[in-house]
Amino acid sequence: MEATLNAKEQEKARKKHPPGLYLLFFTEMWERFSYYAMRAILVLYLTSSLIDGGLAMKEGFAMSLYGFFTGAVYLTPMVGGWLTDRYIGRRKAITIGGVTMALGNIALFASQTHWALYLGLALLIIGNGFFKPNISTMVGELYEENDHRRDAAFTIFYMGINIGAFFSPLIVGLFTEFRYGFLVAALGMIIGQLLFNLLSNRYLGDIGIAPVGQATKGTNSTESANHPLTKKEKQRTAVVIIITVFVIFFWAGFEQAGSSLTLYTDRFVDRSIGSWTVPTAWFQSLNPLFIVILAPILSGLWVRLANSKRGDIKVPTKMGLGMIFLGLGYMVLLIAVLKTGSDEGNITLKANMMVIVITYLLHTFGELVLSPIGLSLVSKIAPVKLASLLMGVWLAGSGIANILAGQLASVTQSLGYFEVFSLIGMMAIVLGFILVLISRKLVKMME
């Protein structure tokens, strides 16, 4: 009888997620609160007049700078991941990154000058390089390689990202001075670091303390970080790189949200509800709101499919569908773009805000079946010795995408919104179908 009870308790424990997941959930939530608070107002801050507390930059240059910044934020994790794997350890890297990012936002708050802008952005770029690849990798380390809870865990973790991303634009959108929005971002980062450093020993055990190379040094285990890559590990590494190349274009389209879509919403979308005007920054909360609503549904769906006779949808297929949803979002947006602009009397014609809402909803579907699943895939198939580095490669794809996104956004001022948005939409749909078609080959390389 006692053995039966113990077996039931063990089975129940296997169905639950480890408590460390929720610590990482809240740590990432506050980091994303900080990042999206800054992101929601950055382009508006760069392009607003000096009287309004901005830096009065030209729109094209501002969006290129925004793209370079958000791109560099995702490129530095390659360096941070490499240093972490060999010298620092994941927990220490997360702390270094968090403190550095807090200082970056404090610099933006302290002075509204060009030198403070570049200093603040530089600190944010460096700090993210240490923080980003390691928080995601530690989620994967909470689970065994074939644990069916892994995809669900990353979807839950993704909810933490988006709860923070939902609230921060709503808060910073209320401030008439941009500098206080940057202060709010700094405070969010500090709260997250306090939680992580006070509770990590209790809920994470030894995970992330020692660098991977040092933790396994001197052992004969096949899991050692010192052994050469096998043929299978090389194939799995190649899969990460191939999928990253496809995902670059997804993020190039998706990240228009912080630049060209923000300016389009600000100028060409009717944001009035009666006598009240919705702050432009608030539209940045739509995507995380939809994710918080939809993530539990999709998380449950992945688990149900994994346990069904039919089996789960293959990861590359899910990601291809994500790109198709992105493209459909732009197809909806084109309907509005065709009707907006200025008539002969210089009266701006504006689109209904529901078009933007539907666009962000479709983009959110795309993100949910691509991004958390991609994180899970990298943490699952990456060789141990390259775990943080390949997570950095995955994030570097987003970096390249953000730089490309900035360039695409900047040419909307010369080519026009319709031309750029239609190009993004059609390319996303085509590449999505290609990824679906080659998914079987990629799955064989992963097995």
Backbone φ and ψ of 269, nearest 5°: -115, 130
Top-confidence residue, 12 or 60 = 60
Contact 246, 435 (CB under 8 A): yes
Of the candidates 216, 299, 295, 284, the one whose C-alpha atom is nearest the C-alpha of residue 254 is 284
Q: Which residues are CB-neighbours of 264 under 8 A, at least 6 positions away? A: 337, 412, 417
Q: What is the per-residue pLDDT across 63-83, written as a single tens digit (0 to 9) for each?
A: 899 989 988 887 888 888 888
Distance of CA 283 to the CA centre of its chain: 17
> Does the pLDDT at position 343 exceed 60?
no
Angle of CA points 120, 367, 100, to nearest 5°: 20
Q: 220 falls in which pLDDT band (50, 70, 90)?
A: very low
> Does the pLDDT at position 207 exceed 80?
yes
Distance of CA 126 to the CA centre of its chain: 17
Of the candidates 71, 54, 61, the one whose C-alpha atom is nearest the C-alpha of residue 414 is 61
- Give me the pLDDT at residue 321, please: 93
- Give me the pLDDT at residue 372, please: 79
> Does the pLDDT at position 385 exceed 80?
no
- Give me the pLDDT at residue 150, please: 79
Residue with the two structure tokens 């968090």: 98
Top-confidence residue, 363 or 380 = 363
- Give me the pLDDT at residue 235, please: 86
Average pLDDT of every residue of the chain = 85
Query: Which is it for strands 272-273 and 276-277: parallel, antiparallel or unpaired?
Result: antiparallel
Place domain 19-215+228-446 in its CATH homologous superfamily.
MFS general substrate transporter like domains (1.20.1250.20)
Q: Which residues are CB-neighbours of 280 under 8 A, at least 6 positions away? A: 44, 173, 262, 265, 266, 271
Q: What whole-number distance in Å separates Cα of residue 155 and Cα of residue 302?
A: 10
Q: What whole-number distance in Å separates Cα of residue 225 and Cα of residue 68?
A: 34
Of the candidates 168, 209, 211, the one whose C-alpha atom is nearest the C-alpha of residue 191 is 168
> Does the pLDDT at position 151 exceed 60?
yes
Q: What is the per-residue pLDDT across 304-339, written as a single tens digit (0 to 9) for each?
A: 887 777 767 888 899 999 999 999 999 999 988 888
Cβ atoms within 10 Å of 253's Cβ, excluding its own: 26
Cα 26 to Cα 29, 170, 291, 329, 439: the distances in Å are 5, 19, 16, 30, 33
Residue 242's identity, in one-letter code, is I
- Our CA dihedral for 140, 142, 145, 146, rounded to 10 degrees, sits at -110
> Does the pLDDT at position 11 exceed 70?
no
The pTM for the full model equals 0.77
> Does the pLDDT at position 197 exceed 90?
yes
* Local structure of 58: helix, strand or coil: coil
Q: Kindly state the average pLDDT of the residues 94-122.
A: 96
- Give me the pLDDT at residue 1, please: 54
Top-confidence residue, 221 or 423 = 423
Q: What whole-number distance in Å separates Cα of residue 137 and Cα of residue 215?
A: 16
What whole-number percentage of the chain has pLDDT above 70?
A: 91
> Does the pLDDT at position 392 exceed 50?
yes
- Give me the pLDDT at residue 10, please: 53
Q: 228 falls in which pLDDT band (50, 70, 90)?
A: confident
Least reliable range by pLDDT among 131-135, 147-151, 173-177: 147-151
Of the candidates 250, 228, 248, the one whose C-alpha atom is nearest the C-alpha of residue 399 is 248
* Local structure of 347: helix, strand or coil: coil
- Give me the pLDDT at residue 93, please: 94
Q: 214 falls in which pLDDT band (50, 70, 90)?
A: low
Q: What whole-number distance in Å separates Cα of residue 266 and Cα of residue 403?
A: 22
- Give me the pLDDT at residue 222, please: 43
Give first-to-last CA distance, the chain, whole Å: 40
Q: 378 falls in which pLDDT band (50, 70, 90)?
A: confident
Q: What is the per-residue pLDDT across 234-261, written as a single tens digit (0 to 9) for each?
A: 888 888 888 888 899 999 999 999 889 9
Q: Kindly state the average pLDDT of the residues 24-44.
A: 92
Q: What whole-number distance in Å separates Cα of residue 171 and Cα of residue 299?
A: 28
- Give me the pLDDT at residue 374, please: 82
Q: Kindly state the average pLDDT of the residues 342-365.
A: 81
> Does the pLDDT at position 369 exceed 70?
yes
Contact 126, 100 (CB under 8 A): yes
